[in-house]
């Protein structure tokens, strides 16, 4: 009953974007990415990097990973939204308390071409460029990275993990299809909410969870009310209490399958 989403058993495409907070935010995005990687490692899930944009001074600007395992999307969809961190900044010479934000997007990977989503090739701009990640001479001398821009929706997908341009192109199209299917779900959910006379919450820019490291330690999910005092354990991948709390909360609320992530950009304070 908790896993009623039709894409529950699909691999999850998890994207982390740094938001408001400058270098602290980019460091926070990398901390969140590490949290999900540690969680996947605990569950022996398969992880594949799709793309990663390194921060100017520290951390990451954004990164996308594919996580595959039993109920991967059904479990990780609870993480979609803005995550807020409060801590003493290691990048502030005065060591003052800073608040940082990062956005987590989670969509199911859709490989089945029979899924009812039409992508007109004329609506997609394809750009190739040199990958900025590790890879030695191959990365430096070839334009293997691929960026797809779906002009009608503004959805942008990049892939630079594979060594060949064709491999990156194939992966990017797969991710684009997944995100467009998720957008269709979002439109449907919005329509149902309007028929009920309800309005969906503005999730962009409003945190779903807060992580406080100073002056006390606590992680609290603002949707479910679940709180954990050991913040370090959570950052080391122990997020099961929040996942389970979300699944039970969503079942009580009679929630439809999660809508797609909000539009691309940086979450604001």
Looking at residue 135, its pLDDT comes to 43
The secondary structure of residue 223, as a DSSP letter, is T
Looking at residue 190, its pLDDT comes to 60
The CB-side HSE value for 83 (13 A sphere, CA atoms) comes to: 29
pLDDT tens, residue order, the chain (269 aa):
788 888 899 999 999 999 877 899 999 999 999 999 999 999 999 999 998 999 989 999 999 999 999 999 999 999 999 999 999 999 988 888 999 999 999 988 887 554 567 788 889 999 988 776 544 433 444 678 898 999 888 888 989 877 788 888 888 888 888 888 878 766 655 644 444 344 333 334 579 999 999 999 999 999 999 999 999 999 999 999 999 999 999 988 874 444 444 444 445 54
Looking at residue 167, its pLDDT comes to 87
Fold classified for 12-253: Alpha-Beta Plaits (3.30.70)
The secondary structure of residue 154, as a DSSP letter, is T
Looking at residue 202, its pLDDT comes to 32
Looking at residue 149, its pLDDT comes to 92
Q: Tell me the chain's radius of gyration from C-alpha atoms.
A: 19
Looking at residue 33, its pLDDT comes to 98
Contact 147, 158 (CB under 8 A): yes
Q: DSSP H helical segments within the chain, as ranges?
A: 22-42, 72-76, 136-141, 165-195, 231-235, 240-253
Looking at residue 236, its pLDDT comes to 98
């Amino acid at each position: 009953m908790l896993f009623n989403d039709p894409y529950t058993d699909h691999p999850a495409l998890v994207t982390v974007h740094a938001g408001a907070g400058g270098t602290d935010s980019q460091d926070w995005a990398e901390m969140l990415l590490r949290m999900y990687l540690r969680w996947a490692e605990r569950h022996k899930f398969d992880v594949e990097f799709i793309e990663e944009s390194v921060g100017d001074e520290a951390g990451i600007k954004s990164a996308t990973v594919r996580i595959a395992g039993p109920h991967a999307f059904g479990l990780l969809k609870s993480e979609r939204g803005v995550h807020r961190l409060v801590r003493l900044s290691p990048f502030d010479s005065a060591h003052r308390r800073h608040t940082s934000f990062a956005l987590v997007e989670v969509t199911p990977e859709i490989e089945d071409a029979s899924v009812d989503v039409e992508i007109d090739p004329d609506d997609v701009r394809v750009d190739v460029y040199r990958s900025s990640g590790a890879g030695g001479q191959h990365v430096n001398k070839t334009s293997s990275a691929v960026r797809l821009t779906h002009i009608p929706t503004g959805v942008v997908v990049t892939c630079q993990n594979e060594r060949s341009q064709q491999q990156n192109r194939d992966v990017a199209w797969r991710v684009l299809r997944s995100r467009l299917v998720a957008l269709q779900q979002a439109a449907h959910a919005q329509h149902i909410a309007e028929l009920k006379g309800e309005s969906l919450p503005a999730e962009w820019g409003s945190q779903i969870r807060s992580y406080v490291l100073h002056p006390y330690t606590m992680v609290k999910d603002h949707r479910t009310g679940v709180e954990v005092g050991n913040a370090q354990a959570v950052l080391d991948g122990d997020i099961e209490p929040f996942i389970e709390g979300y699944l039970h909360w969503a079942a009580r609320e009679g929630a439809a399958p999660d809508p797609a992530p909000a539009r691309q950009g940086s979450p604001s304070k």
